[in-house]
Amino acid sequence: MEPVSRISRYVRFWDRYESAESMALVRIGVGLVMLFDLLQVALYELVVTLWAAIEQGGLGPSSYDEPRVMFYRWFGASSTSTYVLFVSSIVTAGALTVGLYTRVSALVLLFCSVQLSTLAPEGDRGIDALLRSVLILIALSEAGATWSVDARMRFGSFKRLAIIPSWPRYLIIAQLCLVYVTAGILKQSPEWTGMDGYSALWRVLNTPHISRFEWSSETLSRMYVPLQAATVITLIFERGAAFLPFLLWLGAHPTRGGWFGAWLRRGRLLELWIATGVVFHLLLAALTKLGIFPWGCLALYPALAQPRSVRRLVYGSALRPAWKAVFGREPSAG
């Protein structure tokens, strides 16, 4: 094949278009997860504690002398500024969820999240960085083209058949792969290997600050072998994400890939990987106190689905009765 045509194929790959349902689901999921996290802070009365300047009662490191963030330099490091920043985050997370001024909401939420992360760097976890990178992609995509207030305001209907660029969804998939693969590769310490009998998840459940429950040592001893198996499955799942783009490509091209592709499709490896991921994150949510981490990761999973599959699921027969019960009429795509 000529080099020029390879470049053309590469350019065409990033110039693909598709309907907007998958990205709309990612937008709704990310918005809901961030909104839930912020509402927890309000519920526990931690706004000032986490993000205000030390002189205002915050834990730091921000202070009057060292405001640390652009927002405090512009408006002063008062507790009023803290609340304005916090309320802006909540409003934009809510707006993102319902798809109101989607691009602007995503960008303002990104700005607020960066400010909050700098004000409390210890409390800024990997999931916050992951959601920030997805916010950039949401802002650059047309994720508010359907199932949104934007669609209602511009076209008179919350749902419409909108055709949007595919590349933001592809980049979310690439981001998920990077998260899982690097996390899997970095798990080299003895408890994640045979050197310590794959004891990592047994240790996690023994860690009070992480485990949701206080397990007795007898119960954990009985669970030791299943937890060893779960540790191995976690490693296979995370490192297996390296093959996710290939599996997605095979799924999108049923006649390509030769006998090996056909064999992989028959084995339903893609479905198996996704199901493992869903179960893995639901178990994390049930058994550990990792906050929004499992839900934030699951919010990105709709990006793995072809928009036509999402449309089939929502407008097709599977969810018709539930849709009719909620909205009082049959669903329609247009």
H/E stretch holding 275: helix 269-287
Residue 90 near other proteins by CB under 8 A: no
Closest approach of Cβ 179 to other proteins, in Å?
Answer: 5
Among 189, 187, 215, residue whose Cα is nearest residue 202: 215
Residue 217: phi, psi to the nearest 5?
-65, -30
Q: Is residue 233 part of the contact set for other proteins (CB under 8 A)?
A: no
Q: Phi and psi dihedrals of 150, rounded to 5?
A: -55, -45
Query: Which lies closer to other proteins via its Cβ, residue 111 or residue 323?
Result: 111
Q: Identify the residue among 39, 182, 225, 324 touching other proteins (CB under 8 A).
A: 182
Token duo for residue 291: 């906050």
Coil, helix or strand for 18?
strand
Which range in 191-199, 242-250, 251-259, 266-274 contacts other proteins by CB under 8 A?
191-199
Please pick, from the candidates 17, 64, 76, 126, the single residue that binds other proteins as defined by CB under 8 A: 126
**Contact between 183 and other proteins (CB under 8 A)?**
yes
CA gap 104, 47 in Å, rounded: 24
Residue 181: exposure state from Cβ atoms within 10 A (0-12, 13-18, ≥19): middle
Q: Rounded to whole angstroms, what are the CA distances from 44 to 32, 40, 48, 93, 314?
A: 18, 6, 11, 19, 36
Question: How many alpha carbons fall within 13 Å on the CB side of residue 134?
Answer: 35
Smallest separation (angstroms) from other proteins to the CB of 186: 6
Using the rule CB under 8 A, give the single segment among 90-98, 209-217, 304-312, 325-333 that binds other proteins.
209-217
Query: Can residue 15 be called a binding residue for other proteins (CB under 8 A)?
Result: yes
Choosing from 63, 88, 149, 187, the residue that interacts with other proteins (CB under 8 A) is 187
Q: First and final CA of the chain: distance in angstroms?
A: 41
Q: Could you tell me the two tokens for 220?
A: 């954990």
Per CB under 8 A, does 186 bind other proteins? yes
Q: Which helix (H) or strand (E) segment is 152 a member of?
A: helix 149-155
Nearest distance from residue 251's CB to other proteins, in Å? 21
Q: What is the rounded CA–CA span in Å between residue 48 and residue 82? A: 7
Q: Does 173 bind other proteins (CB under 8 A)?
A: no
Partnered with residue 165 across adjacent β-strands are: 17
How many residues interact with other proteins (rule CB under 8 A)? 69
With CB under 8 A as the contact rule, the residue among 17, 66, 153, 190 that binds other proteins is 190
Binding to other proteins by CB under 8 A, coded x per residue (else -) over 130-159, reads --xx--x-----------------------
Site residues for other proteins, window 48-87 (CB under 8 A)?
A: 49-50, 54, 57, 59-61
Nearer to other proteins (CB atom), residue 225 or residue 326: 225
Rounded Cα distance between 73 and 75, Å, is 6
Q: Which of residues 287-326 bind other proteins (CB under 8 A)?
A: 289-293
Tokens of 306: 């072809």
Q: Measured between alpha carbons, how far is 176 from 258 in angstroms, rounded to an integer?
A: 27
Contact residues: other proteins, CB under 8 A: 10-15, 40-41, 44-46, 49-50, 54, 57, 59-61, 110, 113-114, 117-118, 120, 122-126, 129, 132-133, 136, 167, 171, 174-175, 178-179, 182-183, 186-193, 195, 199-201, 203-204, 206-209, 211-214, 217, 289-293
